[in-house]
Structure 1
C-alpha cells in the first residue's frame, strides 16, 4: 500500500517547517553527491557513539570476506562526535531512499505540524530522529556500519499522525488501483511490516538488507507516545475554515 496524498482540509496555513526539512534533506543530498567522503564522515556509527571515539580509517568486517567499511574523520572526539546523530538524519543513500522519505514527509508532515505548531513540530521531529537512532544503537552498540536517513524521524511523524488523525483519508496505490482508506489502515500496515521484516534484525542485532528497522520502530513508538501526551496536555486542534463543512460530513467524525 503506497500512499500518494491525504486529506488536507484541516490545514489553515502553510507547513513551513515541513518545507524547510524537505529542502534541508535535498541540500544535504547535493552535498553528498559532490563529496563522497562527506557521507562516511558525518553519518552515525554506533560504535563511535557508544565509545566516544572517531574512526578515521577503513575497518575490516568478517574474516571470511575480508571486506572493509569506509570511514572518514568526522566532527572529532566526544562530545563533537554526537553531532552525527543530527547530521545523519538529513543524509540519504540514493535517489530512491530520499525520494521515498520525502514523499512520506510531504504527505504526513503538514498535518502534524499544523497540530503541534511550527517550532514544537521541529523539536518533535529532531527528538523523534534521536530516539530512532538510539533505538538502533541499542540493538547493536558495537556496530561499525554507518547509519543515515530521515526514516527514523519520519517514522515519528507517522506515529504521531496515527494518534492525531487516525480516520483521516489517505489516497494510496493498492494492487495497481488508487484507493482512499483511513490513515490507521495505511500506517498500521507500515508499522506491522516494520515489526515483521525487522524481526531478525531486532533479535540478531543486525541491519537486515541495510534497513535499520530498529530505528523505524523506535521513531514510530516515540512519535506515537509524544502525540498521546500532547492529546492529554496540549492545545486543542485549531479550527480550519472548512471545519463547519467537515462536521456535517459523517465520514469525518473524529475517532478520539
Structure 2
C-alpha cells in the first residue's frame, strides 16, 4: 500500500470545504466517548460500553437502513453484572433515530486515530483539486452524495447486518474516483514501504488505480463493518459513484502542469 503525501496539481482557490471537513472530522473524533480517550490508556469495560451506546445511536446500521427496523434493546452506556459476569447494560432506546440521518452522522465518526488520520490524509491530498474543479458548494454536495451512495451500497450487500458502519472512507473514495477521471496524468508523491519508506513520484492513474484494485479484491472477502474491520465494498461503491459524477466534467477540465524541475514536497519556479 502506498501513502500519498503531495500531488503536483496546483489549485486556483483555497479549498475551504476540504479544510472544514477535516476540522469537523477531527473535532468530532475528539469528542467521541471511548476512542480519543484511549490514548491515555483508558480502555476498560466502561469505556467500551459508552462507545457501543454512542455508535448504536449515531452510526449507520445496514439492517436499519434497508428494513427500517430499529432495535428494541440497545446498550445504555452503563455497566452491570449479569449471570455471565460484568457487561454492558441494555434497555429500550431513550432517543429517536432516523436511519437516513444516521448516514450523515456516521460519515464524521472514526474507529481510531489511524482510521481518522489515513482518511484525512487522502482528503487533504486529493480533495482540494476536486473542490477547485467543482466549486465549494457543488463539492460539498458531491462529498455527501458519494458518502450516501457508499453507505447504502454497502447496506444493500449486507442487509441483515446489525453492526455499525462508520467513517468518511466512502465519501473520500468518491473524491479519489473523481480525481482519477479528471486528473489521471497528475503526478503524486507517495511513500512506498520497502524496508524503508521510499519517496516516488507516480501518475495518479497508477496510485489510485492500484488503490481501487486493492479495495475490489478485499471486498470479495470482507467481514462486518464495525469499528474493528473495514467496509471495502463501501469504498468500491463510493469510488465508482465519484467516477460517474465526474465523467461529464472531463472535457472542460484543464490538464495538470507538466512536472518539470520538481523538488520533493514543493513546486520549483518556471519561466513558462
Q: TM-score, normalised by structure 1?
A: 0.80
**Aligned counterpart, 2:22:** 22
Which of 142, 152, 176 in structure 2 is aligned with 1:134?
A: 152
The structure that is helix-richer by fraction is 1
**TM-score, length-normalised on structure 2?**
0.76
Give the conservation status (yes or no) of the 8 Å contact 2:107–2:166.
Answer: yes
Aligned to 1:101: 119
Which secondary structure state, in structure 2, belongs to the residue aligned with residue 101 of structure 1?
helix
Cα shift at 1:52:
1.6
Query: Does the residue aligned with 2:13 lie in a helix, a strand or coil?
Result: coil
Q: Distance in 2 between the 1:211 and 1:51 partners?
A: 23
Flag as ranges the 4+ runs of structure 1 deviating above 6 A. none
Would you say the 8 A contact 2:187–2:259 is kept in 1? no
Aligned residues: 230
Matches within 5 A, 1:8-47: 8-9=9-10, 11-33=11-33, 36=51, 37-47=53-63
Q: How does 1:64-143 map to 2 (within 5 A)?
A: 73=93, 76=96, 80-143=98-161
Counterpart in the other structure of 1:186: 207
Provide the C-alpha distance between the structure 1 equivalents of 2:8 and 2:215, rounded to a whole number of angstroms: 25
Q: Alpha carbons of 1:248 and 1:6: their partners in 2 closer, same or farther (altered >3 Å)?
A: closer
Q: How far apart are 1:75 and its partner, in Å?
A: 5.8
Instruction: Please say if 1:50 is aligned against 2:92.
Output: no
Answer yes or no: is the 8 Å Cα contact 1:92–1:149 preserved in 2.
Answer: yes
Matched residue of 2:102: which SS?
helix
- Confirm or deny that 1:215 pairs with 2:234: yes
Partner of 2:248: 229
Contact 1:43 1:85 in 2 (8 A): yes
Structure 2 residue runs without a partner (length 5+): 35-49, 76-86, 263-272
Q: What's the C-alpha RMSD, in Å, of the aligned pairs?
A: 3.0
**What displacement does 1:133 show?**
0.3
CA distance in 2, matches of 1:28, 1:73: 22
**Partner Cα separation in structure 2 for residue 32 and residue 56 of structure 1:** 24
